[in-house]
Amino acid sequence: MKTTWKQARWNEPLVYILGSKETTGYTIPYYEELAELKKKLGYTPREELGAIYRDELPEIPGLSEVELVRHYTRLSQMSYGVDIGPVPLGSCTMKYNPKISEELVKTPYIQTLHPYQPEESVQGLLEILYELEQWLLELTGMDKCSFQTPAGASGELAGALMIRKYFRDRGEERDEMLIPDSAHGTNPASAAMAGFTVVKIPTSERGTIDINALKSALSSKTAGIMLTNPNTLGIFEDEILEVEKLVHETGALLYYDGANLNGIMGIARPGDMGFDIVHLNIHKTFSAPHGGGGPGAGVVCARGELVDYLPRPLLVKKDNKYVWDYSCSKCIGRIRAYYGNIVPLVKAYIYLASLGGELVREAAIQSVINTNYFIALIRNIKGYELPYDPDKPRKHELVISAKPLARDTGITAEDVAKTLLDYGLHAPTMYFPLIVEEALMIEFTDTETKKEIEFYAKVLEEISKRAYSGDKSLKKTPTNTSIERLDVVYGNHPRNVAPTYRVYKRLRGEK
């Protein structure tokens, strides 16, 4: 199998090399008025600001419009997203982003709305958010959501703080948060930010939470457990009802990390599993794009008493009007300014309105079919194995280990990932979860085509063959991308750390 794929290689210089601080491609509005207004004022910025006036122009290079367009278009051509090819990063749910969503949000009816303009003047937008909330409640089995949280991790922080405040109000000193060793890194990080001590719960041979370990970890100090279900191995926690019983019996709470909802949305609900707080990743499950790293939206929802603790304000309907409710007797307050990341939320609304309940369920089923179809295709390829009960169906994602390949040939999971790039495919998440050696975590989502999934499996097989035939070039991949394999150690060496151009210049002895 030969690949003919080549990524653009523009050798595009930094904007600093292309532009100058005297150049601008921007025209100031109503420029001709300024001289007279200045005269009317009778004093200048320099005179008013005195010592805090900026004497020198900022070292910001400006470009003409055509230069600007070429520079950033070229850089875009050296980038890779779902619109180029599959991005099966595990736990990232990189599904296709419908273009209608992108178009509908580009309107002054969203873009020019000020967060402090009267509620009566934004009823249309609030109605969209309100309906979205009802649908998310239906999907999660929760009682109320807050739109505040701008990302999944922020939802987790909100959830962890809600748990903290809940026990503080009850006068209970519970400062331990239980987290499985297979959990996303954000779970322990969020718990720690909320002041909890993290207690790690091991994964059993079945690939699910070790119930006996859970039993011995639970105590009167336990505040809660943070779980994602299906877990990061793509395996459904089939003893979840037992977990729920054990955790609630000790008086602790259950937090659901919604990063992995895609495989069960519309099929099973965290609320029915007994979770008290849930966050959802709007930019994963509900098709809003990832934007090269963000923006996301991490709606956090709660049940029963925990609703009182949600970040404020909450959207409510009162006398047929949508209003923000700021009342907060127990709540944790605000987790960010204003109301939330509105644009991705509207995209989620468009997605759910377009699909409707049946197709939402269908999407989950398709994502699970895609995962298991891929497993069937790669099951017998030499060098990879499916750890933890290989016969159990996976849900939204799967994790394979390239340990045999690394042991037999020296070709590691990283080499496999880098070589995939040479075939025009984005690599899986690598070296995660930490409980799997040489891990490759793969999530195709519901929108990947059968053809691409088959091609991906074929390439993995080809890489295995090349590795076992002693092909050392696998250590030097990729070569078809805009740049060859990068040295991670060099850029991280204290002597070389250059996070900005001004530091870079200084390291090279330039002014």
Partner 1 sequence: MLKKIGVSSPWDLFSDIPRELILEKPPRIGYGRSLSEYEVSRIVNSKLSQNRLFLDPPPFIGGGLCLHYVPAVVEHLVSRSEFYTAYTPYQPEINQGLLQVLFEYQSLVADLLEMDVVNASMYDMSTAVAEAVLMALRVTKRRQVLVPSTMHPEHYEVLKTWLLGHDIKLVKLGYDRETGYINREDLDRKLAANDTAAVYIEIPSYLGFIETEPEYIAEQAHKHGSLLIVGIEPLSLGIIKPPGRYNADIVVGEGQPLGLGLNYGGPLLGLFATKMDRKLLRQLPGRLIGVTKTIDSEREGYIMILQTREQHIKREKATSNITTNEALMAITATIYLSLLGGKGLRELAESIWIRSHYLANRLSELPKVRAPLFSSPFFKEFVVEFPIEYKYVFEKLLEKDILGGLGLEGPPLYNSRACLFCVTELHSRKDIDRLVEAIGEIL
Which residue stretch of 214-222, 400-408, 438-446, 478-486 sits at the interface with partner 1 (rule: CB under 8 A)? Answer: 478-486
Residue 245 tokens, joined:
């019983």
Residue 345 tokens, joined:
């939320």
Closest to partner 1 by CB, 169 vs 408, is 169
Closest to partner 1 by CB, 251 vs 328, is 328
Which residue stretch of 49-57, 212-220, 399-407, 440-448 sits at the interface with partner 1 (rule: CB under 8 A)? Answer: 49-57
Contact 18, 63 (CB under 8 A): yes
Answer for which of 250, 377, 404, 465 binds partner 1 (CB under 8 A) is 377
CA distance 494 to 506: 14
Told to check if 476 binds partner 1 by CB under 8 A, we report yes
Answer for which of 50, 212, 320, 510 binds partner 1 (CB under 8 A) is 50
Binding mask 322-351 for partner 1 (x = CB under 8 A): ----------xxxxxxxxxxxxx-x--xx-
Footprint on residues 237-296 left by partner 1 (CB under 8 A)? 238, 240-241, 264, 266-269, 272-273, 281, 283, 289-296
Told to check if 410 binds partner 1 by CB under 8 A, we report no
For 6-44, give the DSSP string. Answer: ------PPPHHHH-BTT------TTGGGHHHHHHHH---
CA distance 299 to 258: 10
Exposure letters 13-28 (e unless 16+ CB within 10 A, then b): eebeebbeeeeeeeee
Q: Which amino acid is at 172?
A: E
Helix (H, G, I), strand (E, B) or coil at 186: helix
Told to check if 320 binds partner 1 by CB under 8 A, we report no
For 337-399, give the DSSP string. Answer: SSS--HHHHHHHHHHHHHHHHHHHHHHHHHHHHHHHHHHHHHTT-TT-B--S-TTSPP-S-EE
- Looking only at the bridges linking them, the beta strands covering 314-318 and 222-227 are unpaired
Query: CA separation (Å) from 222 to 100, 244, 279, 330?
Result: 46, 13, 21, 21
Binding mask 13-32 for partner 1 (x = CB under 8 A): -xxx--xxxxxxxx-xxxx-
CB of residue 497 to partner 1, shortest distance in Å: 6
Residue 164 tokens, joined:
């903290």
CB of residue 409 to partner 1, shortest distance in Å: 19
Footprint on residues 435-464 left by partner 1 (CB under 8 A)? 450
Closest to partner 1 by CB, 74 vs 404, is 74
Closest to partner 1 by CB, 122 vs 404, is 122
Told to check if 145 binds partner 1 by CB under 8 A, we report no
CA distance 149 to 56: 39
Answer for which of 143, 193, 385, 404 binds partner 1 (CB under 8 A) is 193
Told to check if 311 binds partner 1 by CB under 8 A, we report yes
Binding mask 204-233 for partner 1 (x = CB under 8 A): ------------------------------
Answer for which of 142, 160, 378, 459 binds partner 1 (CB under 8 A) is 160
Task: Select from 182, 166, 181 the least CA-distant residue to 224.
Answer: 166
Residue 25 tokens, joined:
């491609």
Residue 218 tokens, joined:
């639970």
- Using CB under 8 A, count the residues that bind partner 1: 207
Footprint on residues 72-101 left by partner 1 (CB under 8 A)? 72-84, 87, 89, 92, 94, 97, 100
CA distance 61 to 58: 9
**How many CB atoms are located within 10 Å of the residue 64 CB?**
13
Closest to partner 1 by CB, 406 vs 425, is 425
Which residue stretch of 130-138, 299-307, 396-404, 460-468 sits at the interface with partner 1 (rule: CB under 8 A)? Answer: 130-138
